[in-house]
Structure 1
Amino acid sequence: MSAQSTADTHRSTDPTPLSRFVAWLPDRVDRRIRVFAWLSFVAEVLIIGTGGAVRLTGSGLGCPTWPTCTPDSLVATQEMGIHGIIEFGNRTLTGVVGILALAVVVLVWRMRRERRDLFVLAAIVLGGVVAQALVGGVTVLTGLNPFIVGFHYVASVVLVGVCAAFLVRMNAAPGPRSLAVPRWYLITTHVTTLVLALTIVFGVLTTGAGPHSGDDAAVRSGFDAQVLEHVHAWPGYALFALTLVLAIVAWARRLPVRRWITALLAIELVQISVGLYQARNGLPEWAVGTHMVLAALTAAAMVVVVLNLKTPAVSR
């Protein structure tokens, strides 16, 4: 074989940069996936906090246009002051959230067939971040319509829940799963999840009728905020009561979800305390923001509880 033929054969078998990159990707859950999955979860929670800060500081129209900050500038200008900085900062964080979500999708790409559950969850988060950016634009272009703002928040909470589901599944063995709790306990847990969803929805409606509109010119929903406060509290107390029952039973029967249901109960207790404080002290901004973040963490904890109701089936 000539020297030229040998060189051509070597080049044909030499891996391309893309193939080397694919080979570098993990074929099982490793530290890279764990780190970026946790970073993605933290970023999703953090953006709820910064989004709340935008609304609670009256910076909702700090960048009055979208996708640029002003008709003539992509970024906030000095003339826009602190409101422009806060709003543009939240938009910038959206980019960070998107990059982290994309990183998780890429990292699980090689194992997308063996761990289809992880790939689907990662893809949902990435698609959700893109959709949320568009919804955020609609929010600005509609002058902070309270129903669109509320939908924007609920979607963010859902994404936090999906990230939490990824964290649970990446630590679980793939394959069939079997029920690890009594069936009535499973049903009661799902009922509790529904009550949590109602609590969050009524909380969003309450905020949409309250004083924190995001901008002085923003319209409100027109609902009676004081009535909604009570309506929001009813499922909140029912949620706490149901979770308390689930926790007592879980510890009495040594169910595998007992530690997570206790964590959920603790978060709910803090959430109720913050809710009572804000309602009795004129809705201070920091308390409302904390209440928003805690709602997302409550949803995440509930997702973890639900996913731990089943364990990998024992093969025979």
Structure 2
Amino acid sequence: MFRPFTAVLRPLALASLVANVALIVTGAAVRLTDSGLGCPTWPKCTDGSYTTTSAMGVHGVIEFGNRMLTFVLVALAIACFLGALGRPRRRSLVRLSIAVGLGIPMQGVIGGITVLTHLNPWVVGLHFLLSIALITVAYAFWRRIDEGDAAPVLLVPAPLRALGVLTTLASLAVVAVGVVVTGSGPHSGDRGAKRNGLDPAAISQVHADLVFLLIGLSVALWFALRAVPAPAAAVRAAGVLVIVELSQGLIGFVQYFTHLPVILVAAHMLGAGLVWWATLGALWSLRERPVVAESTPAGQTPAPAPSKDPVPAA
């Protein structure tokens, strides 16, 4: 019964990852069109309806549409779970698929709290950070499909692994402080929503300083990987990270000096998700998990371990 899902598990996992990044974009649309209270209550859209009504106008449609993406995420999570069940001896995949599935309703609950608290900027920020956490787990699930379950093996010297971890922490700090910057700016999701009270210029400077640190660390990682016998995939992943960061930084500076036009803010929020995706890719490329060969009875020759998990029959 699991074969149809198992056969396309990797595309399903990628679709789940992309959908979680897309959730950032739809959330940006809600915020940037002042539709944060388009559905003024939760879990219903209005006191008398679970769906948007004509009286809610376009803001209700936008907010309700963002809520409907949750069902797409749930459907993908269920499909990934069923596909993972079809992989023999891959409990790690099942656990990761469950983690993704549980994170989605949690995200919906926090989204509801943002509405019930009239878009409190700190709760809205938590809503975004949970998306980052979901992207992390969805990415891990996607990458683990083609890996084994042996202990991770470093592909680079330990100091470069440490540099990769430091770069990841800097990337997470950039994203987190970016959330605080957003909470101090004008795009609150509703004209009556409060801001966090921090000075936008001051917190933006902190954010910019962290961006410079992140780019410096990423460039150092790329050069260091080129200087040692590192796998080509690791060098390429670090290079992609630098390119994505520079693109995101350019958008960030232009949006700041052009007074935060909506289209650039939306692009910057999408860029935050892509920077984190690229960060995970760079970190992941520094190690591998070999496939564990199955034990065989005495007197028999063990079969070579496949490079990828076979797709079993149902």
Decide: shared fold, TM above 0.5. Answer: yes
Counterpart of 1:114? 89
Shift of 1:41: 1.0
Q: Which amino acid aligns with 2:122?
A: F
The whole-number CA distance in structure 1 between the counterparts of 2:146 and 2:85 is: 17
- Pairing of 1:1-316 with structure 2 (within 5 A): 21-22=1-2, 24=3, 31-111=7-87, 114-256=89-231, 257-313=234-290
The whole-number CA distance in structure 2 between the counterparts of 1:313 and 1:38 is: 21
Which 5+ residue runs of structure 2 have no aligned equivalent? 294-314
Query: Percent of aligned positions with the same letter in both sequences?
Result: 39
SS of corresponding position for 1:108: helix
The whole-number CA distance in structure 2 between the counterparts of 1:191 and 1:254 is: 21
The whole-number CA distance in structure 2 between the counterparts of 1:261 and 1:156 is: 23
Shift of 1:217: 1.1
The whole-number CA distance in structure 2 between the counterparts of 1:118 and 1:315 is: 15
Relative contact order higher in (CA < 8 Å, ≥ 6 apart): 2
Shift of 1:121: 1.5
- Alignment TM-score, normalising by the size of structure 2: 0.89
Q: Which amino acid aligns with 1:57?
A: T
Which structure's CA Rg is the greater one? 1
SS of corresponding position for 1:196: helix
Which string of whole-angstrom CA distances, capped at 9 and with x for unpartnered residues, describes residues 214-255 of structure 1? 001111101111111101111111000100011111123241
Shift of 1:75: 0.9
Shift of 1:134: 0.6
The whole-number CA distance in structure 1 between the counterparts of 2:143 and 2:282 is: 10
Which 5+ residue runs of structure 1 have no aligned equivalent? 1-20
The whole-number CA distance in structure 2 between the counterparts of 1:227 and 1:174 is: 46
Whether the 8 Å CA contact 1:51–1:90 is kept in 2: the answer is yes
The whole-number CA distance in structure 2 between the counterparts of 1:99 and 1:59 is: 25
- Alignment TM-score, normalising by the size of structure 1: 0.88
The whole-number CA distance in structure 1 between the counterparts of 2:149 and 2:96 is: 14
The whole-number CA distance in structure 2 between the counterparts of 1:102 and 1:298 is: 27
The whole-number CA distance in structure 2 between the counterparts of 1:46 and 1:315 is: 35
Counterpart of 1:9? none
Moved over 4 A (4+): 313-316
Which string of whole-angstrom CA distances, capped at 9 and with x for unpartnered residues, describes residues 104-153 of structure 1? 11211233x61122112111111110100111111101100000000000
Larger fraction in helix: 1
1:315/1:114 Cα in 2 relative to 1: closer, same or farther (>3 Å)? closer
Shift of 1:307: 2.0
